[in-house]
Structure 1
Amino acid sequence: MSTVSTLDQQLIAAAWKNDVTEARRLINAGANVNAVDDTVQSAFLIAASEGYVELLDLTLQHGADVRSLDSYRGTALIRAAERGHAAVVGRLLQAGVAVDHVNRLGWTALHEAVLLGKGTPQYVDTVRLLIAAGADRNKPAERDGITPVQAARSQTEVAAVLATKLPSSPTAALLAAAAAGDANQVAAALAAGAPLESRDDNLRTALLLASLNDRVEVARLLVALGADPDAQDDRQDSAWLVTGVTGSVAMLETLLPAKPDLTLRNRFGGISVIPASERGHVDYVRRVVRTGINVNHVNDLGWTALLEAIILGQGTKPWQDIVRILVAAGADPSLPDADGITPLHHATNRGYTDIAALLRSAGAR
């Protein structure tokens, strides 16, 4: 007979529905994120098994017991690994869940990710995360003695992760692999002891090097492990800021779960939307304005993204599109530069008639 309270029962029901708003209300009212029902399910364990990242974060913020076990005597990490919920696996590893815990079936999280996984990209990411966290790839299962390495032989990409040797110089290997896009080597370097926030001679972290070179697989791994998207190098570049230079929407999406500081400034006092507008990265600008970034931010030159798109752009369709996107996102079409010259005057002086017409239709003077 379960002794779970009514509030706790309601929280477990809300967790199955992934109703984060209701779960937050119930927790604030006193529901326990660790309370289990007759099937040994808690809000925390449900969030892990179902891949509900926001709900998981909520439970962790409110005292989730990362040592709690389900009816198979397995951890939340094992449940998430079985289903290939890489983002959840990363959070649980950061929270300190034991990586090599063995459940009632005699398996670790790595065993489950390999034996019950399908070798798809989400499981490859999961295996990389577990390896990076130090999972024992040669640990035999308690019942049949099979190791993760042996179990992965029919899964080419997973097998490649498990076959990657630990480097003798972990930090150097981490930084080189991040720049080259070798996610398997990045995982091995971390497993060998390389600090996640290692820096090169220019103070560039592995995540910054991955972002500079548009190595999305590597960045996804590092972000899941908690790498800092705001760590700046000796040029004041960060992983997030350089996405505005490269224009990589894929990298932008990869870094957003890390909650980058959208107000962080580069060496010119600008934020990511400004170099993107200057360089004509239309798709990037279209996506980044949806983050709530300040489209009227003024850099040290006295220019906004709109002014840079006009002053340093070419007046052709990409920059016309960017002007249109920025204005629609709330950019002030009359905000002048440090010398008092407005975007309309800059466009007119450069003969950018289409952009000038766009600005006039937006009420610019």
Structure 2
Amino acid sequence: MLLDKLVASGQFDDDGVSRLIKACEPGHTEIVKTLFKREKYYELYRRRTRKSRIKTQKLDKVGREAIMLACKHGHKEIVKILLDRGKDCYKCDSSAKSPVMMIACEHGHTEIVKLLLKRGADYKNCDMNGHSSVSKACQNGHTEIVKMLLNREAVYTFGLSPVMQAFEHGHTEIVKVLLEKVDDFSTCYEVGHPTLMYACEHGHTDIVKILLDKGADCNKFDEGDKSPLNAACKNFHTEIVKMLLVRGADYNICGQRSCSPTISAFEHDHTEIIKMFLDGRTFDLPPVIQAFKHGHIEIVKILLEGVEDFSTCCEVCHLTLMYACEHGHTEIVNMLLVRGANWNKCDKRGYSPISTACEHGHIEIVKMLTDRGADLNTCDKRGHSPLIMACKHGRTEIVKRLLDGGADINRYDNDGQLPIIKACKKGNKEIVEMLLDRGADFNKYDEYGQLPLIKACKYGHTEIVKMLLDRLKDYTFGMSLVKQACKDGHTEIVNMLLDRGVECNECDENGRSSLMEACEHGHKEIVKMLLDKGADFNRSDRRGQSSLMEACEHGYEEIVKMLLDKGADFNKSDRRGMSLIMKAFEHGHTEIIELLLDKGAVNEIYVD
């Protein structure tokens, strides 16, 4: 009775899903039959909806959704009932994307597909995304359905999707079925090559063999500039690599935007694949370099098998040794040295193996090279010796090793910079102390007029400054030190220099004093320190710029107050005739203008 009432009422749920749909989804065949036996109620409902186009559309929607649900869930009997009642097997679902045939193919319901084909369902067209019934079957591995559709000449090349789906997902049986349609892949790049790439990339060995037997080109690059062998190497598909090599795949060929298969194998440490490549074959140099660069010990051992004397193999020997030294591969360096690699040979930049090891901080390699008598004073094209490289990068242990080995402590580079200048810039106290104890010349200027002490002041290395000051007999160049420390705001260093009696009123060639530098850069504590030491606050440089002008121009209000309180001249102008108020006004420093006016500065801007 309840069922009769539901059918008679013709009611729908709020979401538009009818009792019919609810019966179709779980496969309640008897309920569906009962619903359709109540023909008078069904017709009654149709008559009720004639006045309403919306309700009629809702009824059509019910029919479409019912048959689609039945196809999706494999309820053949319900599909047959619905088809007998006139439900259209050509219709699409509410998204206009999936005809009933496509739904049945996607879910692998072979008997329903047969039924739909008998009733004339469309199996050739594609949906809005380019998917066809055969592509759905290929994607999900439903071999019998694919055969059925292909026997009816279903379209399988639209967008190459069916073919690609089968290859990508490794459905070997379907691939065989599809390939029966292609006699020679060597003339079919569009189908043959991408499918081979997919199979190589995803490791589908059987499919690769089928394609190669069909004539697919194993050396053809895809749009991403990769070859099939490259794809197989990258993903470590050993059997496929072996198969491709037998078919003549080129393991040294590179694309415009991609590396060769050998480089890929070396980079990813695929030892087994590299062994295959090595079997009676020769490499281009770059892949060999990769093994030494990345420290692949086992691969290097394979490469070095049979090589007893590297002294006759200059280019390979030197490059591999340089890469091993750069990246810290101690065991590989030892292998190369045992085979006679030249540890004093330099590259095009003038870098030697020991210089490279010093730069990158590989102490064990440095020890190994020094024990073999590596030249500790050879320089690159910039004049950098191993000791300079070690000092520049703060390699304390290496510096000690080089000094113990007799490295020239006062050898300078092309810029006239000694190892101690590099160490002072880096700020490594231990290295500086070590160099000083070994007699490093700390009074020598470089090409830019810089001393080690000036470098230490510039970069704020207080302890090194103190260490160097303790060794100085006079401070005739003290102005440079104070000015540099003031400019960079190193308060502690300025205080140390002033306490040692360094003159604070000396100026450089442009008339710039230490106080001017501190005012320009806003270092308030240093300004106070200099003023307390009697710095001349009214002195001007060659442009007529005073310390107060610097503070006004850059907007340092507290420094302006400090200078005004000391009695700085607030009506002074520079060589262009710009007064303090004009400079403050030009840069929008209103508070400073008020300060100057309160002190009685001439108002050149505002008119009452």
What TM-score does the superposition give when structure 2 sets the normalisation length?
0.30
Q: Which has the higher contact order (CA 8 A, sep 6+)?
A: 1
Structure with the largest fraction of helix: 2
In our comparison, the structure showing a higher alpha carbon Rg is: 2
